[in-house]
Amino acid sequence: MSAGAVADIGVGMLGYGFMGRAHAHAYRTLSYMTWPPPLLPRLVALAGRDAAAVRDAAQRFGFDEPVGDWRALVADARVQLFDNCGPNGVHAEPTIAAARAGKHVICEKPLGRDAGEAYATWQAVEATGVKHMCAFNYRFVPAVRLARELLEAGELGELRHFRGSYLQDWNAAAEAPKVWRLDRALAGSGALGDLGAHVIDLARYLVGEIEAVSGCTRTFVRERDGGAVDVDDAVAAAVEFANGAAGTIEASRMALGRKNALSFEINGSRGSLAFELERLNELRVHRAGEPGFRTVLVTDPEHPFMRQWWPPGHVLGWEHTFVHELGHLLTAIRDDGDVAPYGATLADGYRAAEVCDAIVRSAEHGVRDRVIARTLRDAA
């Protein structure tokens, strides 16, 4: 089929670091793997403060123009989609401004530095009527989407357990310097918002709303080169779901030997599922009455997102989650459709933030936090 009739969409991006690079690459890959693409991304402008760096990044990523201030993107009529890949501290203001200027928005997670900021961002953007997405990209791993489909179809029966953790180790050495991710003013929280938020989003996406949490946090290295650390290095919590399931959530940047180890297992009355991000093409599935777990290589054409990729067994990489995520967003924009429930909206960004805050409160006060009372305010 020809893409001759495919409309295009102008993209303005804030930030050119790790996430900026991942999103930019995905815009370009989209039309290879989704043909015809829902909309053809036109990379209009890339914003960042360091003029030389942003110029170089714009060339590398294929943006037409580097700009010094995100306000230029907001003011640019060619930009129809504002993609916020900046640090946590510049999530709220630019995202709200872009939405108010009529641009659709996608914002990296965590949506805000705390639940209050996230809530305000969501509410302000929601009021404008644009499409909005919080970039919880792991919803777009084919194996995770397959898990969701199995769960929606009732294949696991009544859900009983969720155990999820996201473990990295880049911050394990006491000699590692204090970076922005270790500064509360810039990042809001530590492993909790950076890694734990992903686990929380998957827990909500796959199991349902979290009703209560009881947790603890740890900062193992409090003084680093560059100053005192005022965010958590790690967090652990017992979680209870509105549907009765119970389990654990954990995140750490100090689990030596674990590089990008997001994993979860779900047990229901009719079966179980298990997933590990470092082997993201695999989903392990058990069904009651059958022996053992099946290791499904999620690369068949009938698997989610895989129709236009490669033949079976030709595995995808981490970055391809963004191709699927942005394809989903562009489809919603083109069709005036819903980002939810398969994509995370800013409402999801807020709700994950509320659970993060609840873990912090329970850790501080030693009292189970019935987060659901807050989370569900303003729910549709």
Footprint of its own copies on residues 280-319 (CB under 8 A)? 280-281, 285-286, 288, 290-297, 299-300, 310-319
Specify the 3-state DSSP secondary structure of 130.
coil
- Nearer to its own copies by C-beta: 197 or 235? 235
CA 69 to chain centre: 25
Select the residue interacting with its own copies from 23, 55, 103, 145 (CB under 8 A): 55
Residue 24 gets which letter from DSSP?
Answer: H
Select the residue interacting with its own copies from 77, 174, 340, 376 (CB under 8 A): 174
List the 8-14 sheet strands across, edge first.
65-67, 40-47, 8-14, 81-84, 104-107, 132-134
What is the nearest approach in angstroms of its own copies to the Cβ of residue 198?
Answer: 13
Residue 3 binding its own copies, by CB under 8 A: yes
Place of tokens 């298990």: 274
User: Residue 97: which residues within 8 A CB-CB, separation 6 or more?
Assistant: 70, 71, 74
Q: Which two tokens stand for residue 151?
A: 């769960």
Cβ neighbourhood burial of 77 (10 Å; 0-12, 13-18, 19+): exposed
Residue 272 binding its own copies, by CB under 8 A: yes
- Nearer to its own copies by C-beta: 113 or 163? 163
What is the nearest approach in angstroms of its own copies to the Cβ of residue 296?
Answer: 4
Q: How far apart are CA 242 and CA 212, in angstroms?
A: 8
Select the residue interacting with its own copies from 4, 5, 129, 153 (CB under 8 A): 4
- Nearer to its own copies by C-beta: 36 or 341? 36
What is the nearest approach in angstroms of its own copies to the Cβ of residue 100?
Answer: 32
Residue 368 binding its own copies, by CB under 8 A: yes
Q: Which two tokens stand for residue 326?
A: 């942005």
- Nearer to its own copies by C-beta: 312 or 337? 312
CA trace torsion 144, 148, 149, 155 (10° rounding): 120
- Nearer to its own copies by C-beta: 130 or 306? 306
Residue 61 binding its own copies, by CB under 8 A: yes
Residue 108 gets which letter from DSSP?
Answer: P
Q: Which helix (H) or strand (E) holds 167?
A: strand 159-167
Which of positions 74-103 make contact with its own copies (CB under 8 A)?
none
Q: Determine phi and psi for 31, rounding to 5 degrees.
A: -75, -15
Q: Which helix (H) or strand (E) holds 353?
A: helix 346-365
Cβ proximity of 347 and 340 under 8 Å: yes
Residue 180 binding its own copies, by CB under 8 A: no
Which of positions 128-147 make contact with its own copies (CB under 8 A)?
none
Residue 234 binding its own copies, by CB under 8 A: yes
Specify the 3-state DSSP secondary structure of 197.
helix
Select the residue interacting with its own copies from 42, 71, 184, 218 (CB under 8 A): 218
**Span near its own copies by CB under 8 A; candidates 63-71, 97-105, 175-183, 360-368:** 360-368
What is the nearest approach in angstroms of its own copies to the Cβ of residue 324?
Answer: 13
Residue 7 binding its own copies, by CB under 8 A: no
**Span near its own copies by CB under 8 A; candidates 95-103, 106-114, 252-260, 341-349:** 252-260
- Nearer to its own copies by C-beta: 129 or 291? 291
Residue 222 binding its own copies, by CB under 8 A: no
Residue 106 binding its own copies, by CB under 8 A: no
Residue 158 binding its own copies, by CB under 8 A: yes
Q: Which two tokens stand for residue 211?
A: 């009703």
- Nearer to its own copies by C-beta: 72 or 296? 296
Specify the 3-state DSSP secondary structure of 143.
helix
Q: How far apart are CA 372 and CA 136, in angstroms?
A: 20
Select the residue interacting with its own copies from 68, 244, 301, 341 (CB under 8 A): 244
